[in-house]
Amino acid sequence: MDFPTVIQMLDSTVRLATPLLLACLAGLFSERAGIFDIGLEGKMLVSAFASAAFAVMSGSVWIGLAAGIAASVLLAVIHGVASITFRGNQLISGVALNFLASGLTVLLSQSWFGLGGRTPSMEGAARFDEITLPYANALKDVPVFGPIYHDLISGHTILVYVALALVPLTAWVLYSTRFGLRLRAVGENPAAVDTAGVSVVAIRYAAVLIAGVLCGLAGAYLASLAAQFGREMTAGRGYIALAALIFAKWRPWYALMACLLFGFLDAVAIRFQNIDLGVFVIPVQFTQALPYIITVVILAGFVGKAIPPRAGGEPYVKER
């Protein structure tokens, strides 16, 4: 494999890891506060549909982005009401949201556009433009550094850079701010937080809403990357993001590395159809299934080692 091919593979890795990273950070905020969020997939899906639909109808990618975030936040509020206010089962609530998103997006898409569950293609101002960083064109012919800067670091849409910037921001919020301290404490011992006079309900709702915003960004990015919405276009990325979160042990920097790993596996599956090892040929079906196989392996091998927040999944009942 030559150097330009390696750069192309890494470039695809970054692009494919971006929605996983945004969804993974969403789950990190939610689960650190004690709210398990199986509904990442559903929130990404409704965001992808809303962002694509409104971007096509308005001709503005920013209106589409706002619509995608709003749709995702709406589902996050429903999840919060069910699991925080009414103390329902968080896993069942998340699964229900995924079913709702799966059916509702296809129904609305067919009703609005009549294209078999798809939206029209996003073109022009309805789609995010790639950003060329300073001096990228001038330096592209410089050996080694030029291709890395021009082809790998530069040339992404704004949401890629936002996702990468959110990793250190998330680490700072969780470990260096009062809000982050309270959020992590709510996920570990909500009774102690309540005793200190801090509202457990408010912190958990804040975490769920942050997760909704981040899933909104993830869905909008997926729609812009594909230039349209397609039925079930998230293709299990929400569940892979959960696997990456467990693999990362609910830590932001580890989450980045885990999502890059899954993004790389996805890039391999897309680029290499049949892998010839000389002795035998690995069929395309195996390479396409590889990200999901690794997901199962990671869940089977690391769930016992990765310790989630102690109060995760448990509704909090205020003592009187």
Cα radius of gyration rounded to whole Å, the chain: 20
Question: What pLDDT is stored for residue 302 in this prediction?
Answer: 61
Q: Is 286 contained in some domain?
A: no
Domain contains 95: yes
Q: Which residue range(s) make up the domain with 105?
A: 3-235
- Do the domain assignments include residue 223? yes
User: pLDDT value at position 270?
Assistant: 78
Structural domain contains residue 317:
no
Give pLDDT, residue 271: 76
* Region 64-69 average pLDDT: 97
Whole-model pTM: value is 0.94
- At 200 the pLDDT is 94
Rounded to an integer, what distance in angstroms lies between the CA atom of residue 159 and that of residue 131? 10
Mean pLDDT of the chain: 90
Residue 272 domain flag: no
Task: Give the distance, in angstroms, between the CA of residue 288 and the centroid of all CA atoms in the same chain.
Answer: 20
69: confidence class by pLDDT, cuts 50, 70, 90: very high
Judge whether 309 lies within some domain. no
Reduce the DSSP state of residue 178 to 3 states and report it.
helix
CA angle 98, 26, 88 (to 5 degrees): 50
Given pLDDT bands bounded at 50, 70 and 90, which one contains residue 25?
Answer: very high
Per-residue CA distances from 212 to 24, 95, 184, 286, 307 (Å):
12, 15, 18, 33, 24
Q: Look at residue 175 and tell me whether its pLDDT is greater than 90.
A: yes
Q: What is the pLDDT of residues 81-127, one digit of tens each?
A: 999 999 999 999 999 999 999 999 999 999 999 988 899 999 989 99
At 278 the pLDDT is 61
Neighbouring residues of 280: CB distance < 8 A, sequence distance ≥ 6: none
Which tokens in the block code for residue 130?
A: 């790639």
Whole-number Å distance between alpha carbons of 224 and 305: 37
Torsion sign, CA atoms 277, 280, 281, 285: negative
How many CB atoms are located within 10 Å of the residue 196 CB? 9
Is residue 22 one of the residues assigned to a domain?
Answer: yes
Bigger pLDDT: 158 or 6?
A: 158
How many domains does one find in the chain?
1
% of the chain residues with pLDDT over 90: 69
The string of pLDDT tens digits covering residues 248-297 is 889 999 999 999 998 998 888 777 765 666 666 667 777 777 777 877 77
Long-range CB pairs of 128-135, under 8 A, 24+ apart, other chains included: 128/61, 128/157, 128/158, 128/159, 128/221, 128/224, 129/157, 130/155, 130/156, 130/157, 131/155, 131/156, 131/157, 131/158, 131/161
Q: Is the pLDDT of residue 314 over 90?
A: no
Helical H segments across the chain, by residue range: 3-32, 40-58, 61-80, 90-113, 136-139, 145-147, 158-176, 178-188, 190-195, 200-226, 237-247, 252-271, 284-302
Whole-number pLDDT of residue 287? 74
Cα–Cα distance between 119 and 14 in angstroms, integer? 26
Mean pLDDT across the stretch 226-251? 91
Residue 106 in any domain: the answer is yes
Residue, of 84 and 298, whose pLDDT is higher: 84
pLDDT at 61 over 80: yes
Closest CA to 19 of 132, 114, 148, 159: 159
For residue 276, list its beta bridge partners: 281
pLDDT at 301: 66
